[in-house]
A and B are shown apart, each in its own frame.
Chain A
Amino acid sequence: MAKEALTLKRLVIEIAICMAILFAVMMLCAFAGSQSISLKKVFMSDGAGGIGNIDRQIFFGVRIPRIILAAIVGAALACSGVVLQAILRNPLADPYILGISSGAGLGAIIAILSGISWSFWGGSSITAFSFVGAILTVWLVWWIGRFTGKSQVTSLLLAGVVVNAFFSAVIMFLTSIAKSNQLQSTIFWLMGNITEKSNSVLVTACVLIIFGILVLFSISQKLNVLTFGAEQAKSLGVNIKHIRVIGFAFAAFITAIAVSLSGLIGFVGLIVPHGVRLVFGPDHRRLLPLSAIIGGIFMVIADTIARTIIAPAQMPVGIITAITGGPFFLYLLARYSRKVSWLK
């Protein structure tokens, strides 16, 4: 598949097929859960008895919002991974490499420790704090990276690693002085956890993340050029600085939204882009949308496993993504790596 030339028709068909698979997976997963519910009852208008139609409530009130959230978080992380790998020209880059994880984590733990419980617009204080933490950290890393050195990409990477390490130390300190239930709350957040959110939060997140992905898609052709290296890109008339700023800003933005809603879900942003690249080739016009959709599929499946495998208890979804994602990625690597080298 990867060898054939990319035409618009081909791309549209591929995206359409992946979208169809995504919706099929979402529908299937909506019928899995700790409680068994019947399709007939879900679409009955009203249930008997005073409490209402429980099946309908579980389906529309709990599962559908959660599945949509999982899909959108997976899409954001995978897409952001693609962009950062391209801009930093580093196969190890993931959405968290520029300090987002520790910044958001610091925000979340401050919210948990301070015991602020207000919620606004349907979101919790943890969501708000971690979003602010993530954005501030990225800004800090970007600022340090610009401040130092000529080779911007390297200093950005280093700034990200150092800020990550520093904030992680602060997080460790804060968890060590926390009370036991605050400690548990923090650990669960750090492992990544998808829960139902209110409709207003969900719709806002969907709109913003889809908007971000579209903007990133609009620069995908230039990302292709960027992977040749700065000099080459310049000689081809691409404004590198411009592309970098847009890429970083929007990748960071959608990651921050995803992280503030679901905590730190690892591996998705690293494995999905590489997996898609191995199978479909390195062209970003194809890689970016397909990664987003497949990231969504992967996340929906992982979250469904997380909420059913030890029902009625749940497992943090970050554990599932790492355990299932790792071996699957190794399989892809072994199968395809001889045909397609990374960033060709």
Chain B
Amino acid sequence: MKKIISAIICVAAGVWVFGNYAKQLSSENALETQETKAEKKNTSKYPERIVSLSPNITEILFELGLGEKVVAVSNNSNYPAKAATKQKVGTFWQPDTESILATRADLIITLWFAQQKSVADSLERLGYDVLLLKIESKDELIEAIGEIAEACGAQKQGEELIERLNEKLEQTEAKYNSAEKVKVLWVIQAEPLRVVGRGTFIDGLVVSAGGENAIGKTIYQYPPISTEELLKCGADVIIQSAMGAENIDRQQEQAEKFWKRYPNLPAVKNNRIYVIESDTILRLGPRLADGLELIGGFLHPEIKD
């Protein structure tokens, strides 16, 4: 029993020392960052070294003319071409805190979901400025552009971009809105079959482009559907999200071959199957209107400018 008691005392002492050390460390850190923040404010009000953890945020930054100030981006930030040459700080799903620190950033812009938020929390604890954005719909995108512009001192460019984007989106919607609704089956995975459900962001795009989801409302975001459901859904158009950005032509061929097994579907009969690189084209970013135009073109080839 004696040795257990003495062991407990030893560990308790160790924990106490460690706790004090940690406390001291964190207060030191806080002090340090307060100082550095004050210093920063003296020199310049707006960030000069920005890190973006998401490809759509990167696109917004470049579109706002802040490309020069972006020092590092997430691995999948591949547009515009200049963004791809920036330093990388981990993947979209797993950003690397160390690499971000090493860039000596003064603003880190992240998205609002568990992995990025935990990195954002760590950075905030260390005294960094973090802008946490939730971009899951068109309205949130517009709002986010405004927030980014304000945080980076590009208010004027921000307003212009928002106006430009809104105008283009409205024009495109107006163009396709009056057309007859086309039934669309948006396939995200062919085997086993999984499609885009109602209420999702892509579904919203389809509706804006003068289409209608061939699958009714379900409890799923991306419902897995049976062959029976598929046969009776009567899709006029099938759009399939590409796997990766390469070999789109080959994927298109494979998709056409795959869908031949359901010759009674109107989409297959009329050969209206399209494979698109949805990850890049349909980002919630400044190119959203172009993506909408592309879908509108697939759904209503009869409408010309």
Indicate whether A54 sits within 8 Å of B94 (C-beta atoms), given known contacts A182-B113, A199-B25, A203-B18.
Answer: no
- Rounded to whole Å, the gap between the CB of A60 and the closest CB of chain B is 6
A235 at the interface (CB under 8 A from B): no
In the bound assembly, the distance between CA atoms of A215 and B115 in angstroms comes to 35
Which residues of A are found within 8 Å of B3, using beta-carbon distances? 8
Beta-carbon contact of A58 and B101 below 8 Å: yes
Q: Which residues of A contact B118 (CB under 8 A)?
A: 124, 195
- Place the interface of chain A in its size category: 35 or more
Known: A117-B117, A185-B113, A210-B15. A51 touches B96 (CB 8 A): no
Shortest CB distance B69–A (Å): 15
* Contact present for B224 and A57 (CB under 8 Å): no
Please tell me if the beta carbons of A189 and B101 are within 8 angstroms of each other in the complex. Answer: no
Contact B25 A52 (CB under 8 A): no
Shortest Cβ distance from B39 into A: residue: A50
B303 CB–A CB distance under 8 Å? no
> Total interface residues on B, using CB and 8 Å?
53
Query: Does B219 lie at the interface of the complex (its beta carbon under 8 Å from any beta carbon of A)?
Result: yes
Q: How far is the CB of A184 from chain B (nearest CB, A)?
A: 6
Q: Does B102 contact A (CB under 8 A)?
A: yes
List residues 70-121 of chain B with CB under 8 A from any CB of chain A.
75, 88-91, 93-94, 96-99, 101-102, 104, 106, 111-115, 117-119, 121
Given contacts A180-B221, A214-B7, A312-B90, contact A46 B97 (CB under 8 A): no
> For the complex, is B156 an interface residue (Cβ under 8 Å from A)?
no
Q: How far is the CB of B127 from chain A (nearest CB, A)?
A: 8
Least distance between B291 CB and chain A CB atoms (Å): 17
Whether A58 pairs with B98 at a CB distance below 8 angstroms is yes
Q: Does A112 contact B (CB under 8 A)?
A: yes
Stretch at the interface among A171-179, A242-250, A293-301, A333-341: A171-179
Let me know if A199 and B23 touch, CB within 8 A: yes
Which A residues contact B (CB, under 8 angstroms)? 8, 33-35, 46, 49-52, 54, 57-58, 60-63, 112, 117, 119, 122, 124, 126, 176-182, 184-185, 188-189, 195-196, 198-199, 202-203, 206-207, 210, 214, 217-218, 307, 311-314
